[in-house]
Chains A and B, each alone.
Chain A
Amino acid sequence: MGAPLIGARIQRKEDYRFLTGAGQYTDDVTLQGQTHAVFVRSPHAHAKIKSIKKDKALKAPGVLAVFTGEDLAAAKVGGLPCGWLITDVNGQPMKEPPHPCLAQGKARYVGDHVAVVIAETLDGAHDAAELVEVDYEVLPAVADAAMARAKGAPVLHDAAPDNTCYVWALGDKAAVDAAFAKAAHVTKLEFINNRLIPNAIEPRAAIGLYSRAEDAYTLYVSNQNPHVERLLMAAFVLGLPEHKLRVVAPDVGGGFGSKIYLYAEDVVVTWASKQLNRPVKWTAERSESFVSDAHGRDHHTIAELALDKDGKFLAMRVKTTANMGAYLSTFAPAIPTILYATLLAGQYTTPAIHVEVTAVFTNTAPVDAYRGAGRPEATYVVERLVETAARELKLDPAEIRRRNFIKQFPYQTPVALLYDIGDYEATMAAAIKLADVAGFPQRRKEAEARGKLRGLGYAAYIEACGIAPSAVAGALGARAGLFEAGEIRVHPTGSVTVFTGSHSHGQGHETTFAQVVADRFGLPIESVDIVHGDTSKVLFGMGTYGSRSLAVGGTAIVKAMDKIIAKGKKIAAHLLEAAEGDIEYDRGVFKVAGTDKQKMFGEVAFAAYVPHNYPHDKLEPGLNENAFYDPSNFTFPAGTYVCEVEIDRDTGTTKVVNFTAVDDFGKIVNPMIVEGQVHGGITQGIGQALTEGCRYDATGQLTTGSFMDYCIPRADDVPSYKVDTRETPCTHNPLGVKGCGEAGAIGAPAALMNAITDALGIKDLPMPATPQTVWKALQNKKAA
């Protein structure tokens, strides 16, 4: 038994293969007889497809097939299903227009998949794709969510004649109106939470393989949740029993949400592999990723906070229009509702909150969960309002938060969630100290002497992670459960393979999960391997998103370990000739209480597989257990971020000079991995606030369709972060963990924009705060 592994900074087991180029990504998979697919995509945001002529393409060298929406319809291939049903304010189901895998009748956004060309070579497929003649009748388009419901706006779907998917509301409107009527002060902001393009380093990719011998399919796909992909594709699109479809998500180079979903390309290569009786491979080019991966955010919001004269929050009123894009992506309807509206209490005791969300269709790429998913938008609403209110009431921004923090737990918010635990004051106090807020006035003075404007901003975020109690999710419209599954296979000589439904694509599960298991079993970490990402190996899984892996997937593993230990005690009792009730277990040692008689974990495992001396009358041989875990509540990570910026007056350039994050993630298994997650999240949050702005022009053309125009932050755009953690262990999972993957992206944008508006001395500024945007704001201020 070595040193404790929980809480240890163990280097990532998976990094050796990643850093030495031994990773195996979908595009690395090469199958015998493999063919190549290239998708013909709509160059128009909105167009009627009058005809598609395949002849020239079919005659091109090496072309094996060209398929269109008509072919899929004839083969009864279904459309892409939506995994979440929102019921609107009138009790009606949301509008759910068909989402064909290849366009039928109309193309509805630039990049919409219109046809597929499959050829012997990739170049041949590209050449032939240029020969597919699509006769488009270009229709007027609408890209801006705020314009989608305007009179005379172009209509995307017959099923939604006003381009409205749903109007949904949460909270007590009457109580909110009453509170506003008696408020001493109202702070109001109107802003756009900018649309983002995910840009995982590995683009999406898929290879479909059909086996005539087994009449079964295998799909290799860059995906975050292979079992969900299998369920959706088999049951709802291809009409296959699940045992006839194996989905493998091998090494996946990042997802950030964008690889949760079932995409049309995945379906098409799978279906086509049977038509051709050959494997069909597709790997997105970066330009395709820009137009066809599900985007994130894109809210237009009007938010108001009512306060009394002492700065106590009385009520909040929020109206949001959320852009769904042209079709509903897998979980799209849940993002601006369940993952957004329910977080609007933030860390505060605001007694009454009402939120109305209108989801609209536009001629843009579908929008779905992207790191944070709804919670960055909610945090932005709450924390921009709170900071602005503090400025308007001339209160210290930390003090106004202190006056309103929730202090008693559990706490029932007015927007459905029940927070189990937290200590917001302690977390903020730690952040204030680490950020040296006390020294800020001096730093600002020094900056002024150098001609720079310096500002400081806070964000005290909360998120609901560990998604999710299935019953709650189901009541809110989920069409799936949100449990997780795990299996522990103890081998005869005591090493362990763990199978988990949580997929790892950058999170470091292969290390963190191994730490949890090795620690409990008293094994060296090398003796524990984690297997994920293959439906033929892993019993089941709901996948990785919503910072759920350790809280939900980790707990399933703990439950399976409990069963292993329970069985191990029985075996040990037999071997030690003691009563089962007298066996104590601690980190790999089964011991008869009060004696020095003991058996090690490996000895017990060996006895289970070489059962010469074994209680065969009471126990099966072998040591292999699985468990499913459905959480009883969400987890609620929370923290305070403090950001300091310096702005160059002459150019409008903003430099993030200090960024401090103190997070409460509950118990931490591997602080190094957690810090990495926080660093990455903050960097993406800085991206949203400073550099990343997805833009469509009025005709629906994506004007930020490459890294020439779309700027994800680089190392020299961000400072060296100061991060620390506080710990209030989650009350309802055995590890006491909460989740850390999204926090940075959730808290950072509000902290940044609070700092920038502080530096500029203005109320608001649109994200991203590019140099030109800041410069214009400075010009306007000068003119005013």
Chain B
Amino acid sequence: MHAFNYHRPSNVNDAAAQAVKGEAKVLAGGQSLVQAMKLRLAAPSDIIDLGMIKDLAGIKTDGKTVTIGAMTRHAEVARSADVKKAIPALAALVGMIGDRQVRNMGTIGGSLANNDPAADYPAAVLGLGATITTTKGTHTADKFFKGLFETALKPGEIITSVSFPVPKRAAYMKFKNQASRFAIVGVFVADTGAGVRVAVTGAAPCVLRLAEMEKALTAKFAPESVANLKVKPDGLNSDLHASAEYRAHLITVMARRAVEAAMK
């Protein structure tokens, strides 16, 4: 690891100001950034640790939405009775992130700002049509995820919270990479009451929605609506663990299983 300056601001405005200096990086759990630093792949001049900013963490529910503070650890979301009651699929998804150690440190804000193509959270955020609040305003999920490790966040813009509308029913199915346990394909299906959203992570350079499946499921929310909907492998990721063809196949399988799970 290269040497760096460490900052631990107590409020988000100070953090935002520090974050634009030099080659600064914001630390929000550090489950990707610290690994990259240890491997000397990332060498930030300054680390702005959000861990001491108290009002960035916490979970609020009002029956219609679940709002999660950016620095809320995965473990806290996974075991939250409120989240489990309002959006059980979200609590279940978070419980599948990484391992126990990762979940104790990793945060929703960190995950979304990083936008790893195989991360789980983006599937829930896009699948549920969540709203991302930052130090500079709000982003809809549909406009937040821009590409491989790319988001709508501007330099110095820090996520403060994420609001999830409570769906009628939803489920997430994840097919894990055996080694990393990241999603090779993860499909989040949500019946919002005003239509169905289907978001896929792991399969492509960035989380995406599947319009054809959404249409079929909006017409009839049932496994058979998607069971035979083949996905084209064009543009999907292809690596040692899964070819684009295999991923395309898995999207259909995981979507069908997610619908089955949502109906239970």
CA distance A772 to B246 in the complex (A): 7
Q: Give chain B residues whose Cβ lies under 8 Å from the Cβ of A708.
A: 177, 179-180, 182
A775 located at the interface, meaning its Cβ lies under 8 Å from any Cβ of chain B in the complex: yes
- Give 1 or 0 for each of B52-80: 1 = CB within 8 Å of chain A CB: 00000000000000000000000000000
Q: Which residue of B is nearest A768, CB measured? A: B178
Selected from A123, A691, A772, the residue in CB contact (under 8 A) with B243 is A772
Contact B3–A707 (Cβ < 8 Å): no
Q: Give chain B residues whose Cβ lies under 8 Å from the Cβ of A651.
A: 175, 250, 253
Please count the residue pairs between chain A and chain B whose beta carbons lie under 8 angstroms apart in the complex: 42
Q: Give chain A residues whose Cβ lies under 8 Å from the Cβ of B1.
A: 123, 126
- Shortest distance from the beta carbon of A707 to any chain B beta carbon, whole Å: 6
A24 located at the interface, meaning its Cβ lies under 8 Å from any Cβ of chain B in the complex: no
For the residues of B in contact with A, the DSSP-based class is loop
A211 located at the interface, meaning its Cβ lies under 8 Å from any Cβ of chain B in the complex: no
Selected from B175, B178, B250, the residue in CB contact (under 8 A) with A770 is B178
B194 located at the interface, meaning its Cβ lies under 8 Å from any Cβ of chain A in the complex: no
Q: Which residue of A is nearest B175, CB measured? A: A651
Contact B39–A691 (Cβ < 8 Å): no
Q: Give chain A residues whose Cβ lies under 8 Å from the Cβ of B2.
A: 123, 127
* Total count of chain B residues near the partner, CB < 8 A: 19
Selected from B177, B180, B253, the residue in CB contact (under 8 A) with A650 is B253
Q: Give chain B residues whose Cβ lies under 8 Å from the Cβ of A695.
A: 240
Given contacts A651-B250, A651-B253, contact A772 B241 (CB under 8 A): yes
CA distance A717 to B246 in the complex (A): 21
Q: Give chain B residues whose Cβ lies under 8 Å from the Cβ of A130.
A: 40
Would you list which residues of chain B between 173 and 191 have a CB under 8 Å from chain A? 175, 177-180, 182
Q: Give chain B residues whose Cβ lies under 8 Å from the Cβ of A710.
A: 179
Q: Give chain A residues whose Cβ lies under 8 Å from the Cβ of B240.
A: 695, 703-704, 709
Q: Give chain A residues whose Cβ lies under 8 Å from the Cβ of B242.
A: 772
CA distance A651 to B255 in the complex (A): 13
Q: Give chain B residues whose Cβ lies under 8 Å from the Cβ of A287.
A: 39
Q: Which of B3, B175, B243, B246 has the most CB of A within 10 A?
A: B246
- Give 1 or 0 for each of A281-304: 1 = CB within 8 Å of chain B CB: 000000100000000000000000
A506 located at the interface, meaning its Cβ lies under 8 Å from any Cβ of chain B in the complex: no
A711 located at the interface, meaning its Cβ lies under 8 Å from any Cβ of chain B in the complex: yes
CA distance A708 to B249 in the complex (A): 23
Contact B3–A123 (Cβ < 8 Å): yes
- Shortest distance from the beta carbon of A6 to any chain B beta carbon, whole Å: 41
Would you list which residues of chain A between 674 and 727 have a CB under 8 Å from chain B? 691, 695, 703-704, 707-711, 717
CA distance A775 to B253 in the complex (A): 12
A477 located at the interface, meaning its Cβ lies under 8 Å from any Cβ of chain B in the complex: no
Selected from B178, B249, B250, the residue in CB contact (under 8 A) with A691 is B178
Would you list which residues of chain A between 182 and 224 have a CB under 8 Å from chain B? none
Contact B179–A711 (Cβ < 8 Å): yes
A78 located at the interface, meaning its Cβ lies under 8 Å from any Cβ of chain B in the complex: no
Would you list which residues of chain B between 185 and 244 have a CB under 8 Å from chain A? 240-243
Q: Which residue of B is nearest A775, CB measured? A: B246
CA distance A709 to B241 in the complex (A): 8
- Shortest distance from the beta carbon of A778 to any chain B beta carbon, whole Å: 11
Contact B246–A711 (Cβ < 8 Å): no
Q: Which of B2, B240, B242 has the most CB of A within 10 A?
A: B240
Q: Give chain B residues whose Cβ lies under 8 Å from the Cβ of A691.
A: 178-179
Q: Tell me the A residues contacting B by CB distance below 8 Å.
A: 123, 126-127, 130, 287, 650-651, 691, 695, 703-704, 707-711, 717, 770-772, 775-776
A-B contact pairs, 17 of them (CB 8 A): A123-B1, A123-B2, A126-B40, A651-B175, A691-B178, A703-B240, A704-B240, A708-B179, A708-B180, A708-B182, A709-B179, A709-B180, A709-B240, A709-B241, A710-B179, A717-B178, A770-B241
Q: Which 8 pairs of residues, A with B, have the shortest CB-CB distance?
A: A711-B179, A708-B180, A711-B178, A650-B253, A772-B246, A691-B178, A709-B179, A772-B242
